[in-house]
Each structure stands twice: as C-alpha cells, then as structure tokens.
Amino acid sequence: MSGLTSALDSMASTLLAMDAGIGLLVAVGISMSASHLFALLANRLSPRQIAFHMLIDALVLSLALTLGILCHSLMLLLIEGVPPQPIALANRMLAALWPGLFYVLVAAPYVSDLIAVSLLGWMHLNVLLLLQARYGVPLAEGLLVSAPGFSLALVLIALLFAQRWRASYNTLAKEVGG
C-alpha cells in the first residue's frame, strides 16, 4: 500500500511541476476532435470543411473542459472552503488534462471505447491527485469535489460527439444508399 501511495505522490509532484498553460487545453480539444477525422473523411468533405469541423469541435470541447474546471472551483469553495480563483485553479488543473492529448487514438476500431474510458479515467485521477497535492483534499473528498465538474464535462463532450457522429453517419448512409 505504501508503494501505491508513493507512486501517487510522485505522480502528483510531477503534475505540479508541469507548466500547462491554455495551449494544453486547446491541444486536448484538437486531439479529441481529431478522433472524428475518419468519419469526416468518409463523408468526402473538402479539406476546408474538415478543418472547420475540427476547429469548432476543438473549441467546444475546450469549453466543456473549462466549464468542468470552473465547476471544480465552485465545489472547492462549497465543500473545502477554498476561495475560488478560477484562473489559478484552471492553470493548475490543466496539467491534469495531458492524457487527453492521446484522445485521437479513440478513432481506433474495436478498442475505441476502452481507450476513451481509460484516458478520461486517467484525467480524472490526475485531477484528484492535484486536488490532494495543491489543496490538501483527501482522495475521498476529492471525488466529491471533482465529480460534478467531471460529469458536466463528460455530458457536454458526449452530446457533441453523439451529434457529430450521428450527422456524419447519416450523411454517409445517404450517399451509400442513394
């Protein structure tokens, strides 16, 4: 058990040392939107249309993650009494999102759901570790603090993905059937 604790502490200190910045948030959004690239290519969209779809998706996904981080800030205030400083919290929490850079791998057939769940779980674990390392929030309370923001971000991401995939497959079905 002490080995797990030391590994989590080491992971938390590494995350604290990362200089994330807003670029990481946009990069994660681009990686997430790139997982739709094959569906966009299958619909024979022009490069300009593909770039437009990916840019809009990346911005909306980045916004969903930002809203989740703002929700973390509110929950820290309500549960832990930590005064909300959303910009400082966002800068600290962005380091937790780096596994999302690999979200483009979700486009892989057959294992896409496993990859998506693993990456999102890893990001959530990083948030828990940062809450513990930066604010002294125990892991059990960290789940309570981070669950609403994480859930909000997941719902927004799922809604965007469901809408985009449905539209892509409907277009493809029309072309194949027609």
CA angle 28–171–165, rounded 5-degree value: 30
pLDDT above 80 (res 36):
no
- pTM, two decimals, is 0.75
What is the predicted pLDDT for the residue at 177?
Answer: 66
Q: What is the DSSP letter of 84?
A: P
What is the predicted pLDDT for the residue at 37?
Answer: 79
pLDDT above 60 (res 19):
no
Comparison of pLDDT for 83 and 118, the residue scoring more: 118
- Give 116's contacts (C-beta < 8 A, 6+ positions apart): 103, 106
Residue among 176, 64, 108 nearest 168 (CA): 176
Per-residue HEC secondary structure of 2-57 comes to: HHHHHHHHHHHHHHHHCCCHHHHHHHHHHHHHHCCHHHHHHCCCCHHHHHHHHHHH
pLDDT above 80 (res 4):
no
What is the predicted pLDDT for the residue at 97?
Answer: 85
Span 144-161, mean pLDDT?
Answer: 86
pLDDT above 70 (res 156):
yes
Comparison of pLDDT for 44 and 78, the residue scoring more: 78
pLDDT digits (tens, 9 = 90+) for 85-143: 767 777 777 888 889 889 888 877 778 888 888 998 999 898 898 888 888 889 889 89
